[in-house]
Chains A and B, each alone.
Chain A
């Protein structure tokens, strides 16, 4: 099962290496990982998407991550009400004639064209991974030259519903 795990870590050298090394050693497959600074100086946040076999393995991975000295907090937020975003840059083959057509495709996705050259253009899109997947599929017929994705970043919504009145985000579909 796919899980989204966030880690609050101290911003010290080697901490990313510690986390990924630990996961590799214990044979967890990391699907995506994103790291960045937070509102607090010296504190960074990592968002991991990992494939885990079962609850017991999941518990083990969170405990092992928690054991790291530089790790302040580990949360499995998969089942929570969360905001999830990923950014992708997509370079599409395009001539000047196709530009309007592509624009018409990306507009409903609230994506932007951020670079144009003679035979290609670059699209920037932010959103849930499925939305990005959907746009990539639509752009594929034009010829995709390059894709760069950031991996997920996520946090809890400001309001956590007490009852199940809010659709949770699911990666497993």
Chain B
């Protein structure tokens, strides 16, 4: 496809450089915020940022990993690419975790890395790393700029590729002599020329008909809603469709909020720590409609036992996802919203689908086997803590987590009724993701309440970004679910490694309250339920950053659970243990 775009350049008194052109191009793309860290190879770009102050905002993070996770959180909430700038070598390699995370969770990022000058590329120059080779497998696409004249096209293409089709990270590597080089003439327009990139948006009507036909015959239909629904902004369409035809909906971890959790047709999250009703619905179903999920192994459990009785329809914008893990009888390539609209039209006349018995059975599962936890008078239950946060925020907060037990408890007990409230590292399972992602989310939605629910382990991986929330006065509420351990690791060691607790206890912790105070942030330490109830309103009413060190019950585990290698019907801990 070809898109022509007019560029308007600001006149400047200094000679225009490649870096000035780059900043103009970013402003032209509508970029308001840069997540960055300076260094030798990007000094010309930082000089251009200095000259462009007032026209574009730059936020200085304290580590490249923090800033790229922030850009991911920003992209998740803003729905447009987060833009990252890092220097060559170590700057670029510190981004690898975040780029991979964005790739796995299909988040749009445009990442600019500095590179040593072209004349020394390949000589192991100071701060040189082969960023193109390093990032080829973890980006949707990447570029190394070879001429200033290519910059307008590359920037245009980078934003286009990152934000269309299945979103993902695009990296642009800029040698220092390109950013420092002078423009000989103003390029006036950029032409996107990507004949090899034409995402299919509109699904094949014949396949939609086939799905509608299967739906009319199904006795046990179920919809599996994934993050593809979020990217397509198709929650309303999904809700309308499922409620009209009374089709039960299971969401994936990343799909939480795509379908209101309080709907009578919501079964909750499926997979390893999903609900019994959701997993049994997937197991017993005779028609499984996968809407924008990628059949991750944490969702499917043992593939041998996954939806063994179901005809599988898979709607995905990425054709390579269809049939990758689960054989699919009705493959539908396209955007989730387009597919739902066509499907709704096709099924408009179907009023009474005959699956009342199925709904009753699932309702019975929901009633008999709800998510559970036991109150302990001697301490604070982490699940209860999550419910308390839900209550004080009316379920309206944007919630970001790391990975581990606290992530699963949040997924289970913070009931998400709306899309774009939930930010978590699903595919890569990145510790240290939650707090910086919350910073990015707060920057994208300054008026929203943003909570970072983090573990004591993960938080210590990126806590240096406390500087940023203080500096910018971002009212992020950090809730540390502190059990003094790498909780999920310990849980697996207890359950699957004969209770051999190997290196998963954090014997020493910083004093998190003093830590917060050293960054000039309010800190609380709370170790019982009464204090929490008393303090939470104050914590959330305060218009500034707060860190809360919540000491929770140490031995609490995440249940129910599907052990590795087991099928969806083999959950353990379904009933209180």
Contact = CB atoms under 8 A, between A and B. Distances in A.
Interface of A: 9-10, 13-14, 17-18, 21-22, 25, 56, 59-60, 63-64, 66-72
A10 B196 contact: yes
Contacts of B323: 56, 59-60
A67 B320 contact: yes
Contacts of B161: 69
B14 interface: no
Contacts of A71: 196
A163 to B, nearest CB: 27
Contact of A63 (B140, B141, B320): B320
Contacts of A60: 320, 323-324
Interface of B: 132-133, 136-137, 140-142, 144, 146, 161, 194-197, 318-320, 323-324, 327
Contacts of A18: 136
A157 B140 CA distance: 34
Contacts, number: 42
Given A10-B196, A66-B319, 18 more contacts: A9-B196, A14-B132, A14-B136, A14-B142, A14-B144, A17-B132, A56-B323, A60-B320, A60-B324, A63-B319, A63-B320, A67-B320, A69-B161, A69-B196, A69-B197, A71-B196, A72-B195, A72-B196
Top 4 nearest A-B pairs (CB, nearest first) are: A63-B320, A69-B141, A72-B196, A69-B197
A69 B319 contact: no
Contacts of B144: 13-14
Contacts of B140: 69
Nearest to A18: B136
Contacts of B197: 69
Nearest to B197: A69
A17 B133 contact: yes
A67 B318 contact: yes
Contact of A69 (B194, B318, B320): B194
Given A56-B323, A64-B320, A21 B136 contact: yes
Q: Which of A9, A60, A66 gathers the greatest number of chain B CB atoms within 10 Å?
A: A60
Nearest to A17: B136
Contact of B137 (A25, A56, A69, A70): A25
Contacts of B324: 60
Nearest to A12: B143
Contacts of B196: 9-10, 68-72
A20 to B, nearest CB: 10
Nearest to B195: A72
Contacts of A68: 196
Nearest to A73: B196
Nearest to A25: B137
Contacts of A21: 136-137
Q: Which of B142, B146, B195, B196 gathers the greatest number of chain A CB atoms within 10 Å?
A: B196
Contacts of A70: 196
B144 to A, nearest CB: 7
Contacts of A56: 323, 327
Contacts of B137: 21-22, 25
Q: Which of B137, B318, B319, B320 gathers the greatest number of chain A CB atoms within 10 Å?
A: B320
A124 to B, nearest CB: 34
B516 to A, nearest CB: 42
A59 B320 CA distance: 8
Contacts of A22: 137
Nearest to A62: B320
A133 to B, nearest CB: 34
A63 B333 CA distance: 12
Nearest to B318: A67
22 contacts: A9-B196, A10-B196, A13-B144, A13-B146, A14-B136, A14-B142, A14-B144, A17-B133, A17-B136, A56-B323, A56-B327, A60-B320, A60-B323, A63-B319, A63-B320, A64-B320, A66-B319, A67-B318, A69-B140, A69-B141, A71-B196, A72-B196
B215 to A, nearest CB: 26
Contacts of B133: 17
A21 B132 CA distance: 12
A60 B318 CA distance: 12
A98 B282 CA distance: 74
A10 B323 CA distance: 27
B204 to A, nearest CB: 16
A25 B133 CA distance: 13
A19 to B, nearest CB: 10
Nearest to B327: A56
Given A10-B196, A13-B144, A71-B196, A66 B136 contact: no
A72 B144 CA distance: 20
A56 B323 CA distance: 8
Contacts of A9: 196
